[in-house]
Amino acid sequence: MLNIFNSCQKIKSLYTPKIIAEVNNEYIKLVKINGNKVPWHNHKNEDELFFIIEGSLLMEIENKPSFKMQKGDLFVVTKGLNHKVSSQKECTIMLIESKSTLHTGNVISKITKSIESQKK
């Protein structure tokens, strides 16, 4: 058993998803972001769930109005949708992603981390 709030406190690096659990074919991850470094990307075959633990997140989806997510908000980016997330202050997010999901899709950027490094 783990406590989400304790797990969040241990995360010191931004833009570095940390796998905290697995359930069936999905990983549960925690990630902190602060700024605008996540590139536009999509996951061709996988939905991705965002759940805000702390802070505020700007969610942008191609050809749709952007919106702000606050603590407790939950949104699923369905497969194939181009999306981008950013924040003006530190924001802590729980992600649910398929084990096969690359967190920045097929876009390799400065923040891209391998699944192996997300397990550490």
CA neighbor of 16 nearest in space, from 47, 1, 40, 38 = 38
* Residue closer to a copy of itself, measured from CB, 72 or 116: 72
Residues 1-40: x/- map of binding to a copy of itself (CB under 8 A)?
xxxxxx-------------xxxxxxx-x------------
| Residues contacting 79, CB < 8 A, separation 6+ | 42, 43, 44, 45, 46, 47
User: Binding to a copy of itself by residue 47, rule CB under 8 A?
Assistant: yes
Min dist CB 59 to a copy of itself, Å, is 8
Which token pair is 111? 């923040």
Burial letters for 75-100: b for 16+ Cβ neighbours within 10 Å, e otherwise? eebeeebbbbbbbeeebbbbbbbbee
Residue range at the interface with a copy of itself (CB under 8 A); choices 11-19, 69-77, 81-89, 108-116: 69-77
Residue range at the interface with a copy of itself (CB under 8 A); choices 11-19, 34-42, 74-82, 111-119: 74-82
User: Binding to a copy of itself by residue 65, rule CB under 8 A?
Assistant: no
